Amino acid sequence: MSEKMKLTADQQAILGGEQGETLAKVMETLVRYGELFGADSMAPVTSRYNHLVTSFGLKALGPVYDLMDKLIAEGAASMQQFSADPRPVDKNVPSSFLQNFVFQNFMYTKQDFYEEQLGKLGLMDKDAFTCACYLDQVGNTPKEGEVLSWSESSAVVYANSVLGARCNRNSGIIDLMGSVVGYVPNFGLLTDEGRKATWIVEIKTSKKPEAQLLGSAIGMKVMEDVPYIVGLDRWLGTLDDGAKTYLKDFGAATASNGAVGLYHVEGITPEAVRLGRKLVAEDAQVYVVDDAELQRVYDSYPVVWKNKNAKPKLCFMGCPHMSLEQLTTWTERVEQGLKESGKKKVAIPTVFTAAPAVIKEFEATPYGERLKQTGVILSYICPLMYMNNPLSGKMPVITSSNKLRTYTTARYYTDDEILVQITKGGN
Amino acid sequence: MRQFQGRVVSPGKLTAKALVSHGGLNTLASFQKALQFGDKKATCGDQNNPDLYGKEMAGKALCLPRTIGSTTGGLVLYCACSMGRQPACLLFSEPIDSLAAAGAVLADVWLEGEHTAMPVVDSLGEEFLDYVQDNMTVNVLPDGVVQVI
């Protein structure tokens, strides 16, 4: 029996073992986890779908598969269907013989097995593998105020901030467990108090700040706190598809370069529109971002390539996965860049990544063929999973994703710099 | 010797040599070699962490402010414990973050046997991290007291 958290009779019954030992342990895990953060109760999960961070059949995650098997054996499937992060391997993405050997024989040998497990546990569609599950084409888009048991830092921060849903930065396994019992511990970003901003960030740049760079700067400054951002509405206008794409990339950088789970943008995000500066806590600290500050942050990134002047061998765009609007815009930008340089194909092998459902819709438009003509490869892969091994880590890979930069050896460039590299040169 | 009082996240009593990270521990990047490539000593693979990169984490009293990075963090810690490649304990100067908390609780609730144990104490304070250095001897007591010698 929990001594600190008030449980309902139903929750207490699960904890007491009335629905089996495995479910009792699931509830015990969630209660103990919540009590560490002062949770006073368990909140019902109210979203239609869940989202899981673990999508990769890594041989090394045997203990996770064993735990999943226990849940399946006890009939403890998820109460919700769910999407999951991107698949780790795609034969369309350039890789060496040795990389393929490592992927297939050492790293992702459990992929088919794990996907079968996910199917039994409630995967919403056989291709529901993307970190940007909230995009319209994928269909896992929670409504404002709904309570989630999601993981995947970039998806959690988007759901909280842009959609106004309520979700903590859950770890893998905890995400599934919340969905299995239908409750999550009530603390942090699930509460009104926890959603208050303890930082005011004033944007004073001379042009629209690079989303991935601004997110990185704010993430590194506020870490896990909630920022209230002032002055960005001047550059974003309204919450249209372009602004949503911007906030997708911005948020992923705040979450990976720091540990932000929620941000408010004055005049743009739903809670900020509704509540304005009532969202700002007393004694909030102030952080001013101007051109010099963004340059300082950019210059602070370490280049971990052995040969810092190496010619890039691969370019990844789409961590998190690109939106339909982004694919369209980038097709035009790449075409224009190639036209200016007199080239027909990109100068560096370049991979754009997106959700399978987004790729399908994009390829049904004329833009699909146009992008193909530029030589850019379109894939559903997770660039992080591609990069997270010593062989890929030694490759000089470039990206405009600050998340990919943070977790791997990929080198960060702004969108404009990436465009120059892939259309005009290779160094 | 100095003594610090923290909060018990996962109970335990042990003595181990300290390994100190002044920046956040990126769990996925750090344990990659241990999990994927059979490195039983859990050599830290996070190139962005100059305090830990290339050092063996298994069996050490890992002293740190917090964990950072991917939300796979909790399950990575859980797997490290299950395989017996975990640090002897995790000692946080700050209140524990949600990802490390998940790993600590999952290991404590779901795994059995001494080789999977990973006591965790948090909220030891900034002074703890200022004082403790690599290879100092650390005694962790069941009530959350941490002695550094």
Extract the tokens encoding A290.
């101007």
CA distance A342 to chain B (A): 39
Give me the interface pTM, i.e. the ipTM.
0.94
Point out the residue among A33, A60, A256 whose CB comes nearest to the CB of B35: A60
Our CA-based measurement puts residue B36 at a distance from the nearest CA of chain A, in whole angstroms, of 5
How does pLDDT run across A391-404, given as a tens digit for each residue?
888 899 999 999 99
Question: B48 CB near a chain A CB, below 8 Å?
Answer: yes
pLDDT at A387 over 80: yes
Confidence at A271, pLDDT banded by 50, 70, 90 = very high
Which of B9, B68, B78 is nearest residue A173 as measured by Cβ atoms?
B78
Contact between residue A301 and residue A412 where contact means Cβ atoms under 8 Å apart: yes
Placement of tokens 């300290």 in the chain? B18
- pLDDT tier, A262 (very low <50, low <70, confident <90, very high otherwise): very high
High-pLDDT (> 90) share of chain A, % = 85
- H/E segment holding residue B142: none
Alpha-carbon gap: B97 to the closest alpha carbon of chain A (Å): 9
* pLDDT number for residue A190: 98
The answer, yes or no, to whether residue A366 has pLDDT greater than 60, is yes
Q: In B, which residues are within 8 Å of A258 by CB distance? A: 68
In this prediction, residues A215-219 reach a mean pLDDT of 96
Interface test with chain A among B26, B53, B71, B77, by most A beta carbons within 10 Å:
B71
pLDDT band at A388 (very low <50, low <70, confident <90, very high): confident
Please determine, for residue A425, whether its predicted confidence score (pLDDT) is greater than 90: no
Mean pLDDT of A165-179: 96
Beta-carbon pairs below 8 A across chains A and B:
114
Q: What is the pLDDT of residue A426?
A: 55
Whole-number average pLDDT of chain A:
95
Q: Is the pLDDT of residue B101 over 60?
A: yes
Could you tell me what percent of chain A has a pLDDT over 70?
A: 99
- pLDDT attached to residue A1: 47
Question: Is pLDDT of A427 > 60?
Answer: no
User: Per-residue confidence at A281, pLDDT binned at 50, 70, 90?
Assistant: very high
pLDDT in tens, A113-144: 999 999 999 999 999 999 999 999 999 999 99
